[in-house]
Amino acid sequence: MLRGLAVLLVAIFHIQYPLMERVPGTPDIILRIGEALQPFRMPLLFFLSGLLLPRSLTKPPRAYITGKLRGIAWPFALWTVIVAITFEALWRDEDRWWLLTDATAMLTGWQHLWFLSVLLVCYAVAPLTRLIPAWVLPLPLAFASSFLTSDGTWMEYGEKTLWYAAFFFAGAAVAPILVQWQRLSPVVPTAMLLFGLAWGFLAVQDQQLRTTLGFSTFILSLVGVLGLTWLSPRLPRSRFLEWVGRGSIVVYLVNLTTITIAFESIDALGIEDPWAITTILVVAGLIVPVAMVPLARTPLFAWTPRSASAADRPVAAEPPSPHR
């Protein structure tokens, strides 16, 4: 359920800025809520992916590798091409295909595709946890990210990879004790949730604070993520969010692409009515991506040959809950 909630929050975040830009009088609170959640949205997605790592590593090496190639590398490569062609067509630059020939942008993940690029790196390194306990990795990774502060695409990518990998392996470290954590008495987790609220409030006040990747911000965001993980089974069960969570890759990949198309179309058609703009952006950013979730098992989002065994098929699932 948390995965579904996290990816919908990402989708809503992508709607906020074009909405604020094109609809004068949009309540400022909408943007502020998005900024308060910024320290937790993507860390939560990486943490939840890490929770599933121990189960993935029980597969034979061939099944593990092919599963990640089909479920992550394939949609990353395919949607890199789709996004590049779509954006080039919309922007009509003089050099129409510069993006497709920019190897750095393609490998590091252009626009929102960076998530899959970093996730691939995490899964490539993950088999090392058969030799090194996962709990050893998060703090050194977060600490190392603090030193990659130079300008440059690859330095920024390295910083981002180290920082988000820290959440991925934190999730892997928590996975064996997840049930015990979620059954913990509420004193400590409640304090962590309150701390997370305070951190979100501070993040709204300072853009640099909420966008800096480093050791201290990792600890602050991790506290909130752990609190949310504890809270999750205590929330009313939502089959809709569980369903969205199982197809989260669809919502994530489609969302920013359809919003960009909608945004450019609004300009091209000269649409100025606030309600019309709001409707178009919500349909493009939420309704269309969610409506495409049933396509999660198609080659558009996961390459699963007919001959693939069940062990090879990419699986998206929720972490277990002791209260369900």
d(CA 63, CA 69): 10
* pLDDT number for residue 320: 38
Please tell me the predicted confidence (pLDDT) of residue 150: 67
pLDDT at 322 over 80: no
What is the pLDDT at residue 26? 78
Amino acid at site 68: K
Q: Is the pLDDT higher at 241 or at 211?
A: 241
Name the residue with higher pLDDT: 311 or 221: 221
Q: Quick check: is 323 in a domain? A: no
- pLDDT confidence of residue 318: 40
- Asked whether residue 310 is assigned to any structural domain, the reply reads no
Q: Quick: pLDDT tens for 121-136.
A: 999 999 999 999 999 9
- What pLDDT score does 203 carry? 85
In a domain, 78, yes or no: yes
Block residue for tokens 């929050």:
9
Q: pLDDT value at position 315? A: 43
* pLDDT(142) > 70: yes
Number of domains the chain contains: 1
- pLDDT bin (cut points 50, 70, 90) of residue 305 is low
Is the pLDDT at 7 greater than 50, yes or no?
A: yes
Whole-model pTM? 0.88
Mean pLDDT of the chain: 86
Look up residue 57 and give its two tokens.
């590593």
CA 75 to chain CA centroid, nearest Å: 14
Both tokens assigned to 137: 């990795």
Least confident of 23-32, 169-178, 227-236, 294-303: 23-32
In the block, tokens 């809520």 appear at: 33
The answer to which of 254-263, 264-273, 274-283 has the lowest mean pLDDT is 264-273
User: Tens digit of pLDDT for each residue in 48-107?
Assistant: 999 999 999 999 999 999 999 999 999 999 999 898 888 777 766 556 666 677 778 788
User: What separation in angstroms does the CA of 23 have from each of 7, 154, 198, 258, 288?
Assistant: 24, 36, 30, 18, 21
What pLDDT does residue 86 have?
84
User: In the prediction, which pLDDT does 319 show?
Assistant: 39
Assess if residue 81 is contained within a domain: yes
215-235 residues labelled b (16+ CB within 10 A) or e (exposed):
bebbebbbbbbbbbbbbbbee
Query: Which structural domain range is residue 272 located in?
Result: 2-297
What pLDDT is stored for residue 170 in this prediction?
Answer: 97
Share above pLDDT 70 across residues of the chain, in percent, rounded to a whole number: 90
Task: Return the pLDDT at 312.
Answer: 46
Enter the tokens of residue 47. 């943490």
What mean pLDDT do residues 206-213 have?
77
Tell me if 201 is assigned to some domain: yes
Q: Strand, coil or helix: what is 320?
A: coil
The C-alpha atoms of residue 167 and residue 46 are separated, in whole angstroms, by 6
Average pLDDT, integer, range 172-176: 96
**Residue partners of 257: CB distance under 8 A and separation at least 6:** 79, 82, 83, 86
Cβ atoms 24, 149 nearer than 8 A: no
pLDDT above 60 (res 176): yes
Beta strands in 181-254 (DSSP E): none
User: Of 247, 253, 240, nearest to 315 (Cα)?
Assistant: 247
| Residue-level pLDDT at 298 | 92
pLDDT at residue 323, as a whole number: 38
- What percent of the chain has a predicted confidence (pLDDT) above 90? 54
Taking residues 108-118, report their average pLDDT.
90
Q: DSSP secondary-structure letter at 106?
A: H
